[in-house]
Amino acid sequence: MLSNLFSQLVDNSLFFAQSCLLCGVPGTPPGLCPDCQASLPRLPAERCPRCAEPVTGGTLCGACQHHPPAFDALHVSYRFDYPLDGLIHAFKYGKRLEMAGALGRLLAREEPVSPAAIDLIVPVPLAKERLAARGFNQSHELARTLAATMQARFAADLCWRKYNTRAQATLDRAERHRNMNDAFGVKRSLDGLCIAIVDDVATSGATLSSLASALKKQGARRVEAWVLARAISLKT
Ligand SMILES: [Zn+2]
Ligand SMILES: [Zn+2]
């Protein structure tokens, strides 16, 4: 019994706290060893200040000039590509909750933003049925870590998703926007506040834009999106 307990403790500390999530090398408390962290696929430094699309010179991209999203900025450092895509997949669908801290810290450490500039940190909510099926909301876990790192207020229940929107991947551009139109509810007025919304991956940008729009309708002054990884070209 005692030896059982002991081996359990050893297993937990080795597996959860001290081995790299990617290569398994022991002795790496934050989740990824420095080599694996350096190997993650980064977006180019020059990108659109609004949506983070890679653009030479870092100027506003064509899409944002014509149809700007409702969020004011997208903070993201990584491309949704190997091996980060596998990590996110394991976290999300494999219910690897112990990965939330490591992935949340990856999200938090990248952008030097003054914490005082953010009033509330809000996860992109899942629809009730999806939350029930998955067991947890990956965005909620990432947002909680980001809030702790930035010492900003975590507003987990400020927003909700009204219905289970169809999978964006199956739709064309016009359908994506219609699909996301009015998908979110916001519980109270946010006069003049600056909000950071958090998600794991930006694929179409339509989800983030829809949530940002709902927050602005309630009076938010500025909405920034923080995501861990971005598809190289948002299919908007
Ligand atoms: Zn490693
Ligand atoms: Zn842009």
CA distance 46 to 59: 8
Ligand 1 centroid–CA 40 distance in Å is 11
CA distance 53 to 56: 10
Q: How do 184-186 and 159-161 pair as beta strands?
A: antiparallel
Q: What would the pLDDT profile of 73-128 be if each residue is shown by its tens digit?
A: 999 999 999 999 999 999 988 888 888 888 988 888 766 566 568 999 999 999 88
pLDDT tens, N- to C-terminus, the chain (236 residues) = 444 544 444 444 444 456 899 999 887 766 899 899 999 999 999 999 999 999 999 999 999 999 999 999 999 999 999 999 999 999 988 888 888 888 988 888 766 566 568 999 999 999 888 888 888 899 999 999 989 888 889 999 999 998 766 666 677 767 766 667 789 999 999 999 999 999 999 988 999 999 999 999 999 999 999 999 998 766 54
- Distances from the Cα of 107 to the Cα of 9, 67, 125, 149, 216, angstroms: 29, 27, 18, 10, 24
Residues of the chain with CATH 3.40.50: 44-230
Ligand 1 centroid–CA 38 distance in Å is 9
> In the numeric block, which tokens belong to residue 51?
């949506």
pTM: 0.85
- DSSP code string of 129-182: HHHHHHSS-HHHHHHHHHHHHHT-EE-TTSEEE-S-PPPGGGS-HHHHHHHHTT
Ligand 2 centroid–CA 1 distance in Å is 59
Ligand 2 centroid–CA 154 distance in Å is 27
Neighbours of 86 (CB within 10 A): 12
Nearest to 111 by CA among 140, 146, 161, 157: 146
> Which pLDDT score, from 0 to 100, does residue 26 have?
87
> Which pLDDT score, from 0 to 100, does residue 11 have?
45
Architecture of domain 44-230: 3-Layer(aba) Sandwich (3.40)
Ligand 2 centroid–CA 51 distance in Å is 4
